[in-house]
Amino acid sequence: MSITERFLRYVKVYTTSDPDNEGTIPSAAREFDLAHMLESELKEMGLEGVVCDEQAYVYGYLPATPGCEGAPNVGFIAHMDTAPDFCGENVNPVVHENYDGGDVELKGRTIRVADFPNMAKLKGRTLITADGTTLLGGDDKAGVAEIMTMLEQVIKSGIPHGRIAVGFTPDEEIGAGANGFDVKGFGCDFAYTVDGGEEGGIDYENFNAASADFTVHGFNVHPGSSKNTMINASLVAMEINAMLPSGDTPRDTDGYEGFFHLCSMSGNVEKAALEYIVRDHSATVFDARLETLRHIQKLINEKYGEGTAELTIREQYRNMIEMIRPCIQVVDYAKEAIREAGLEPIVEPIRGGTDGARLSYMGLPCPNLGTGGYAAHGPYEHVTVEGMEKCTEILVNIVKRCAKA
């Protein structure tokens, strides 16, 4: 089966995760549809230990070929769910042969080169989009298709290899993809999530992340007789936000720069709430950001009285580089594989999180590789056949490189 056939087959399966049911894995029973499909295909290929567990995680492995038993055990991981940000049901993929490099007309909308400058360099390729009414699902069914195609090529070509494990996960798009992953059973020295952007990309630095929620308690009295008495919770909330650095917002930062992001603000005189996410690549600066919030809470309570401001901080994930650095060869293998495929590695910090970061802190070092996809999570999503083929070539090269390690 060609990678195009696989990809078109997978994106038609409705697997959108459900953010309103994130306490259950999988969050939506429909995710089992693709999970069982992949389970069957892995068994047909002859992989061992193939299983789709009760949480829709799919696992399987190829034993090492004779003479490669001492090679590192390498894993490849992709997620099956699609983002709930836009409709993922009844996906109708459209194949644009020999794309002309111009704007692409869809139902009710246009993928404009002015909005997506990457389109220009895709001229001449076979472009795949949705029809405009749904997302495409290349995030991350391109990664799923690339892993499956890599396995097929390795098996059919008789390429020598160490033990290769694959894992397909549910609920990555709602932050729960790693929650039920069986790292011990997966049995790998390291792995790669195949869930990035442009082909040739390798990501191994991500944000340190936390949520930070302020609850402000006011004191409400008649406004006509409230001097030195009223505490307007909404105004105090505004005061809290004003105490943060004005340029430390997503709009004003990029690259390795972190931020405080005010996600929502609500309230009245009696009570107000501020919900932030806090991000930074530097662990030291990240910790300082959290301390800044605690200091603001202290100052507000000193000014208006103890208990005026409550602060709840929840750490979400940490920068995987701390776990990757001791085994940096996992990055070197990928860079070599990318260069062997005729590309120069694209290394950029992830301004977000990844299952790979979670898995790295669970004991499985796990950088992230590109899939050749663009504009994920919406109706403008697109991928090229040639990009997916190149990503598959990179995966095969990693297998070959690990066999020699």
Specify the CATH number for the domain of residue 237: 3.30.70.360
Domain housing 285: 208-317
- The single residue of 18, 31, 172, 280 carrying the catalytic annotation is 172
Q: Are residues 308 and 328 in the same domain?
A: no
Q: Are residues 125 and 201 in the same domain?
A: yes
Q: Are residues 302 and 327 in the same domain?
A: no
Please state, in angstroms and rounded to a whole number, the distance separating the CA atoms of residues 57 and 359.
14
Q: Are residues 36 and 54 in the same domain?
A: yes
The predicted pLDDT at position 391 comes to 98
Catalytic (active site) residue 172 = yes
The predicted pLDDT at position 22 comes to 77
The predicted pLDDT at position 380 comes to 97
Catalytic (active site) residue 139 = no
Q: Which stretches of 243-384 are DSSP H helices? A: 283-304, 321-324, 329-340, 355-361
The predicted pLDDT at position 354 comes to 81
Please state, in angstroms and rounded to a whole number, the distance separating the CA atoms of residues 142 and 274.
38
DSSP 125: S
Q: Are residues 174 and 293 in the same domain?
A: no
Please state, in angstroms and rounded to a whole number, the distance separating the CA atoms of residues 241 and 238.
5
> Could you list the pLDDT tens digit for every one of the 405 residues in the chain?
999 999 999 999 999 999 999 789 999 999 999 999 999 999 999 999 999 999 999 999 999 999 999 999 999 999 999 999 999 999 999 999 999 999 999 999 999 999 999 999 999 999 999 999 999 999 999 999 999 999 999 999 999 999 999 999 999 999 889 999 999 999 999 999 999 899 999 999 999 999 999 999 999 988 988 899 999 999 999 999 999 999 999 999 999 999 999 999 999 999 999 999 999 999 999 999 999 999 999 999 999 999 999 999 999 889 999 999 999 999 999 999 999 999 999 998 988 878 899 999 999 999 999 999 999 999 999 999 999 999 999 999 999 999 998
Q: Phi/psi at 389 (nearest 5 deg)?
A: -65, -40
CB atoms under 10 Å from CB of 157, counted, come to 8
Q: Are residues 109 and 256 in the same domain?
A: no
Whether 361 contacts 321, CB under 8 Å: no
Whether 352 contacts 319, CB under 8 Å: no
- The single residue of 81, 152, 195, 199 carrying the catalytic annotation is 81
Q: Are residues 233 and 344 in the same domain?
A: no
Specify the CATH number for the domain of residue 376: 3.40.630.10
The predicted pLDDT at position 352 comes to 81
Q: At which of 278, 298, 317 does a domain end?
A: 317
- Into how many domains does the chain fold? 2
What are the start-end ranges of the E strands in 148-238?
Answer: 164-169, 190-194, 202-203, 208-217
The predicted pLDDT at position 322 comes to 92
The predicted pLDDT at position 73 comes to 98
Q: Are residues 179 and 86 in the same domain?
A: yes
Please state, in angstroms and rounded to a whole number, the distance separating the CA atoms of residues 49 and 68.
19
Q: Are residues 229 and 364 in the same domain?
A: no
Q: At which of 264, 299, 317 does a domain end?
A: 317
For residues 353-388, one letter each, b for 16 or more C-beta atoms within 10 angstroms of the residue's C-beta and e for the rest, the string is bbbbbbbbbbebbbbbbbbbbbbbbebbbbbbbebb
The predicted pLDDT at position 249 comes to 96
Q: Are residues 176 and 41 in the same domain?
A: yes
Q: Are residues 350 and 304 in the same domain?
A: no
Q: Are residues 190 and 254 in the same domain?
A: no
Please state, in angstroms and rounded to a whole number, the distance separating the CA atoms of residues 270 and 149.
59
Q: At which of 317, 349, 373 does a domain end?
A: 317
The predicted pLDDT at position 4 comes to 98
